[in-house]
Amino acid sequence: MSSKEKKSVTILTESQLSSRAFKDEAYEFYKELRKSQPLYPLSLGALGKGWLISRYDDAIHLLKNEKLKKNYENVFTAKEKRPALLKNEESLTKHMLNSDPPDHNRLRTLVQKVFTHRMILQLEDKIQHIADSLLDKVQPNKFMNLVDDYAFPLPIIVISEMLGIPLEDRQKFRVWSQAIIDFSDAPERLQENDHLLGEFVEYLESLVRKKRSEPSGDLISAFIQAESEGAQLSTEELYSMIMLLIVAGHETTVNLITNMTYALMCYNDQLEKLRQQPDLMNSAIEEALRFHSPVELTTIRWTAEPFILHGQEIKRKDVIIISLASANRDEKIFPNADIFDIERKNNRHIAFGHGNHFCLGAQLARLEAKIAISTLLRRCPNIQLKGEKEQMKWKGNFLMRALEELPLSF
């Protein structure tokens, strides 16, 4: 999208937000929005009218605003209820990311019991072993595509083992996950995604049957036990919980590891600083989360009660989408926001969200990134981008900021 086209655009569509062209120029576009149109109109097809939020302060306010709901059933009457876009969506959308209190509290509590600080620290040796094993496979070649060879397999192995899912199925999760986070309403894409989600539901049905008959010490068995002990976890909620942990348990971390490595390859001074001062790793991870936020746009929030924002009435049933990527580059909050600075102070990014829906897996994602990047730099001291940084392509995806691939030589 050229600067001339940007000025003429009055309403953005879902397909534009999901395009590669938009991803390539999104940061400049967001900068203009923060200056002049912090509340930007969207046309979201079957979802109706929406608004894109680009400023940090607005994002913080709206992520905690009780007038916004994640479950559209708390906004629409039975007569207004929209028809399902996908036949299989009911089986995969009853999770905590799409729920409001008190259901959200009930579902989140089940997961919080497992994602404790102590439990995550216990995974450190396992994650380190996985990182070393993956690098053992590619190091003799002195080349790898970071996404396929390292950033994707590491977190998917971790979450698969936590859930008790066979590792040989992990490539299926990659395909199913992309179908879940694809917001396209194009008829052919909807049909293809619905087919893939149907496969995923069948897989989960089979998996849960096995876990019911042969429970073990994994998360899925724990959720089934909670269901049997009266935790009021429906079958749809059980499937949706597993789906959410599979998708959220790796998608964000894949992007964090990849985007951080890419930033370090583009900013050689920061890479050298990190090599010389490895104690800056935690700060570098926070800066990577801010600079190329793994989740670019939030999932949708529905307006339950009208309110005024920047002089504009936000009406009941309007959709609110918040650009975490834009908020994290807000010049009023982050000095020199477009510079990657691993020593940045007071880094108040919201890459993991804010409020009730703050990412439960944030600590695990940080640990996986810390081990993955530290191991990569230690074992591959001569690592460099293979090709020009301008050749790297962002995926066309609504929610995520993800690279198609990241070729590296060492």
Instruction: Judge whether residue 401 has pLDDT over 60.
Output: yes
What's the pLDDT tens digit per position in 277-321?
A: 999 999 999 999 999 999 999 999 999 999 999 999 999 999 999
The more confident residue out of 84 and 408 is 408
How high is the pLDDT of residue 176?
87
- C-alpha 399/C-alpha 17 separation (Å) is 9
How high is the pLDDT of residue 4?
40
3, 373 in Cβ contact below 8 A?
Answer: no
Which of 7-11, 130-134, 188-192 is most confident? 130-134
CB atoms within 10 A of CB 228: 11
**Which is nearest to 164 in space by CA: 228, 208, 129, 126?**
208
How high is the pLDDT of residue 337?
98
How high is the pLDDT of residue 1?
44
Question: Could you identify the residue written with the tokens 């924002």?
Answer: 309
Question: Using H for helix, E for strand and C for coil, what is the string for the chain?
Answer: CCHHHHHHCCCEEHHHHCCHHHHHHHHHHHHHHHHHCCEEEEECHHHCEEEEECCHHHHHHHHCCCCEECCHHHCCCCCCCCCCCCCCHHHCCCCHHHCCCCHHHHHHHHHHCCCCHHHHHCCHHHHHHHHHHHHHHHHHHCEEEHHHHHHCHHHHHHHHHHHCCCHHHHHHHHHHHHHHHCCCCCHHHHHHHHHHHHHHHHHHHHHHHHHHHCCCCCHHHHHHHHHHCCCCCCHHHHHHHHHHHHHHCCHHHHHHHHHHHHHHHHCHHHHHHHHHCHHHHHHHHHHHHHHCCCECECCCEEECCCEEECCEEECCCCEEEEEHHHHCCCCCCCCCCCCCCCCCCCCCCCCCCCHHHCCCCHHHHHHHHHHHHHHHHHHCCCCEECCCHHHCCECCCCCECCECCCEEEC
Structural domains present in the chain: 3-409 (1.10.630.10)
Split at pLDDT 50, 70, 90, the class of 6 is very low
Q: Give Cβ neighbours of residue 58 (< 8 Å, ≥ 6 apart).
A: 38, 39, 309, 322, 327
Mean pLDDT of the chain: 90
- Strands 312-314 and 39-43 turn out to be unpaired
Which of 103-117, 174-188, 197-211, 219-233 is most confident? 197-211
Distances (CA, A) of 349 to 24, 62, 211, 355, 368: 21, 15, 39, 13, 19
The more confident residue out of 115 and 339 is 339
Determine the average pLDDT of the residues in 391-403: 93
